[in-house]
Chains A and B, each alone.
Chain A
Amino acid sequence: MVLGLVALALVAAACAPNATQSTLEPKGPYAQQSYDLFVPVFWVAAVIFIIVEGLLVLFVFRYRHRKNQTRIPPQVHGNTRLEIAWTILPTLILAGVAVPTIATIWDLAAKPTGDVLEVNVLAHQWWWEFDYPDQRILTANELHIPTGRPVYVTLCAVGFGYGTPVPSQGGPPAPSACQGPPDSPPPAAIGAAVIHSFWVPELAGTQDVVPGQTNHLTIQADEPGVYEGQCKEFCGLSHAYMRFKVVAHTPEDFDRWVAEQQAPASSAVAGPAQAGQAIFLQTCVACHAVAGLETATGQPVLANGGPNLTHLMSRGCFRGCTLAVTDGNLRRWIADPRSVEAGSFMPDYGLSSEEIDQVVAFLNTLE
């Protein structure tokens, strides 16, 4: 009876309306392939479950000891024919499962052909960075893609290998196949390079992000929408807060988004934002890049130990996509990063409340 409830609940799982990160709601062809294998295998397993548990329950009732029963039952030792049968039958069933499994393994491992969008996904402790090498865009927390096109993701873990000295920021990077746009500095290593896992279940199964190794994953969305994802491989203190979103646009909207992202930030700011910009140029540029901004000595602001902030206001979320981009949240974050993210590598510069307001005002200009 309890087992029946479990089975029912499993069926109910597929019908949950507000499961927004579900593996049972594929929204693209690659997720669909994983799902299309799972469902029939699940039903095969369910049938076997019913038969085996059913026999168990049947025997428990049929052969229970009755009060007047004194005879010891016949001492049957086995039946070789049965043994052969119940070895061969499962083998056949498993062979039937194995064939489509193997076919799909190879299918998913192949690099997609045709009109493919290439994106490098850089996993940091504890946030996701997205590098579009052909479009020359660097963004974070939200991966924007066009619908109907395969997106071939190269997965890179960024941070320090522990064979190198570890200053708190700006130190030598871990060697990685994912070096970022050609004329920008290689990813500065803040935090350790550990294993992560890139998972947006409605669009694809996962692949791990392994330091020193270059893994790939293909995702594709059929329809516009926002798809939830998060890191699936335990990666340290704030593993639970390393989320991201995939935002799928129609192709036209996607091109528009690319153009917006490619535009540099304007340096002309006024009012409190100007004071904020000055503070930004003294502290934040150690890790954060803003395209179009220049330091006092005319250097471009390109450091990329932290997320690229050029179009921060165009994103819905920040801080491992766990916080909405609002003034209040930005203030909390800048004032005390470790109260928001355990073990955060973002320094606390001890800014006064007024200074933080100014910085937030400046950030509001980064649209």
Chain B
Amino acid sequence: MASLEHSVAPPVSDHAATSTGLPHLKLAMWLFLASDCLLFGALISTYVLYRGASTVGPFPADVFDIPYTSVSSFVLLASSLTMVLALAAIQRGDVGRSRVWLLATALLGMTFLGGQVYEFTSFVREGLTLKTNVFGTSFYVLTGFHGTHVAVGVLMLLTLFTLSFAGKINQDSAMTVELVGLYWHFVDIVWIVIFTVVYLIPTGNPGAGG
């Protein structure tokens, strides 16, 4: 076999130097989030396509309670702040502080989800279900996907919280917290887009139909 220059074989784990300089998991998370952008892009496009297309009500103006949703949006935004604080704490090595902020983020996320549940049940009572019209169809599936992403994020946060008691979360594993943070911020940014496109931008004449 032709001789090759060689170097010391690096182990497969991600502590070695990487070709881009970015740790493997971080690069993977960015790529996954980019892919997830298209997921939400397709859902938001569906919603925007069907804006004003419902032939029967209830229509958005009939059910939306902007002040209420603004409050729950603020709750989700605040959770991004607590997430940043959690990461800063663990990067300093302060596991205790980090644990508190992680729990706070999870609780704020759960509050947001609870708010969504309340909001949707009130919509249903007002006659807007998945099957009612294309508004109901596209709205619930879009916000449902987002809510599922939030729920998965809450699950990850609570897992980190629990693992921190077993000593598994420390300054060396700060990147795990950073990765969950990246995901969490992404979910938050998607919500800002949804809130703006779905709730804030008026659909025009609600009775326009077809």
Which A residues form the contact surface with B (CB < 8 A)? 163, 175
Q: Does B69 contact A (CB under 8 A)?
A: no
B residues near A (Cβ < 8 Å) are 55, 131, 210
SS class, residues of chain A in contact with chain B: loop
Interfacial chain A residues near B131, Cβ < 8 Å: 163
| Secondary structure dominating the interface of B | loop
Chain A residue numbers with a CB within 8 Å of B55 are 175
Residues of chain A within 8 A of B210, CB atoms compared:
175
C-alpha gap A292/B55 in the complex (Å): 37
Residue of A nearest to B56 (CB): A163
Q: Which residue of A lies closest to B131 (CB)?
A: A163
CA–CA, A163 to B210, complex, Å? 14
Nearest-neighbour CB distance to chain B for A176, whole angstroms, equals 11
Contacts of A175 in B (CB 8 A): 55, 210
Q: List 3 A-B contacts (CB under 8 A).
A: A163-B131, A175-B55, A175-B210
Q: What CA separation (Å) do A166 and B131 show in the bound complex?
A: 15
Chain B residues with Cβ below 8 Å from A163 are 131
| Cα–Cα, bound, A175→B54 (Å) | 13
Cα A25 to Cα B131 with chains together (Å): 49
In the bound complex, CA of A163 to CA of B55 (Å): 12
Taken together as a complex, chains A and B put the C-alpha atoms of A318 and B55 apart, in Å, by: 37
Q: Which residue of A lies closest to B210 (CB)?
A: A175
CA distance A163 to B134 in the complex (A): 10
Q: Which residue of B lies closest to A163 (CB)?
A: B131
Complex: chain A residue closest to B134, CB-CB: A163
CA distance A175 to B55 in the complex (A): 10
Complex Cα distance A175/B210, Å? Answer: 10
Q: How far is the CA of A175 from the CA of B53 in the complex (A)?
A: 13
Instruction: For the complex formed, measure the closest distance between the CB of B132 and the CB atoms of chain A, giving whole angstroms.
Output: 10
**Bound state CA distance, A175 and B209, in angstroms?**
12
Closest chain A CB from B135 CB (angstroms): 13
The 3 closest A-B pairs by CB, nearest first: A175-B210, A175-B55, A163-B131
